[in-house]
Amino acid sequence: MTEFRTTYIHDRDQWPHLTWDSAVLAPQLAKIHFARGELMGQLSLMGFSTQENSMLDTLVQDVTRSSRIEGEVLDDAQVRSSVARRLGLPIAGLPEPARHVEGVVAMTLDATQQYQAPLDAERLYRWHHALFPHGVDDNLQPLQTGRWRETEMEVVNNNMSRRTVHFEAPSPARVQQEMETFLQWFNSEQDLDPVIKAGLAHIHFLTIHPFEDGNGRIARALTDLLLARADGRRERYYSLSRQIEQRRAEYYRVLEATQRSRTTDVTNWLGFYLDCLTAALTDALASLSRARARHLYFSRFADVPLEERAQRVLTRMFEPFEGKLNNKKYRSMTGVSDDTVTRDMKELVDAGMLIQVGRTKGTYYLLNLSGIPSAGLELYADTLYWFGETASSSRPEQS
């Protein structure tokens, strides 16, 4: 009896010539190009130190989230230490990074900082070896590093009752030729939107699955490389991996559906990728808006003597913040007594740094951002921030 074998996108006669519906993707693509331009405009208004800190935060997120997609949790402080040292930024108080952390960071920075360099097999081998410096995979099994795989490759899910095969990669005999074709396409100029090319490279590389392990992390590094080429700059201010990690289950579902397709149409995959990229750019714009507002806010009140605990709470309010700032939340964030909370809040209100809303048990406080650009922060008006009086709003009632 002949055993039935599921076929995959790489078995199609048209492979590796991928197709997509440009009309379906056009609205998403237009939104992304607008957001990229807006992001570059925002960056031009930022000071050098703000840009450096934003880039550091982005790269740390990219490294940690890309690994987390594969189930590996890296220590944030170690990643920050490695990235900061390689970028020449201060590392005081940060721990010494482990060797495997250094490897992931080295790969990520080589992809983004050297985005103009051609991609070849040797460069990919170095990345792979950097991911697995001890010669074992994430499950501590022996691993061939720095060369194409020589074994069959399946993406499987094992549980107590059944073994599910989600994808079978091309046979090892095909890998060399598949990668030569991929690298030639990757390095050549095409009449192709560079943002689309980055998404195509992701699915193309993952379908070949040329290594025994680490293919997902390398695919995301290749996507970041091509996005850096599209932006024409080494500095990274948005993290695609962070968005993919937040939608991890959907990421794998879309990949599986695309790789099992009876055609080489990858419109659905590109739609998911563009959605994630849009969210990454939106988050980056909001983060830069918060960073700029934070800088202007503390510059305005530079002469106000602040307790370290108050500085910490006020700074935290420029990050994603749940709820409103009231006495109870301030106490939980600082661990001080009720009397100290009352005194701190009065001093901050008297200094003009906070606006008090209400007089009773429901009293809460807004950061006084009057006169500071509010673009990207409007969502938090009346819950975290006060932007000053307008035709439709008045100063909150104070005690």
The residues annotated as belonging to the active site are 209
Predicted local distance difference test score (pLDDT) of residue 77: 95
The SS3 assignment for 11 reads helix
Is 217 labelled a binding residue?
yes
Distances (CA, A) of 327 to 85, 133, 399: 39, 50, 15
The SS3 assignment for 47 reads coil
Say if residues 330 and 344 touch (Cβ distance below 8 Å): yes
Q: Where do the domains of the chain lie? A: 9-289, 303-386
Predicted local distance difference test score (pLDDT) of residue 181: 98
Predicted local distance difference test score (pLDDT) of residue 160: 64
- Chain CA centroid to CA 53, Å: 15
Predicted local distance difference test score (pLDDT) of residue 140: 74
Predicted local distance difference test score (pLDDT) of residue 156: 84
Q: Per-residue pLDDT tens for 293-344? A: 888 899 999 999 999 999 999 999 988 788 899 999 999 999 999 999 999 9
Is 125 labelled a binding residue?
no
Is 5 labelled a binding residue?
no
Characterize the bridge pairing of strands 354-357 and 364-368.
Answer: antiparallel
H helices within the chain, ranges in order?
22-44, 48-69, 76-87, 99-113, 121-131, 172-187, 194-208, 215-231, 240-246, 248-259, 267-300, 308-316, 327-334, 338-350
Q: Which two tokens stand for residue 92?
A: 């005081």
Question: Which CATH number does the domain 9-289 belong to among 3.80.10.10, 3.30.300.160, 1.10.3290.10, 2.60.120.10?
Answer: 1.10.3290.10
**0.75 exceeded by the pTM?**
yes
pLDDT per residue of the chain (399 residues) written in tens, 0 to 9: 445 567 899 999 999 999 999 999 999 999 999 999 999 998 888 888 888 988 999 999 999 999 999 999 999 999 999 999 999 999 988 999 999 999 999 999 999 999 999 999 999 999 999 999 988 777 778 888 999 999 999 888 777 677 788 899 999 999 999 999 999 999 998 899 999 999 999 999 999 999 999 999 999 999 999 999 999 999 999 999 999 999 999 999 999 999 999 999 999 999 999 999 999 999 999 888 888 888 889 999 999 999 999 999 999 998 878 889 999 999 999 999 999 999 999 999 999 999 999 887 889 999 999 988 877 677 677 788 888 864 334 455 544
Predicted local distance difference test score (pLDDT) of residue 396: 55
Query: Which architecture does CATH list for 303-386?
Result: Orthogonal Bundle (1.10)
Is 237 labelled a binding residue?
no
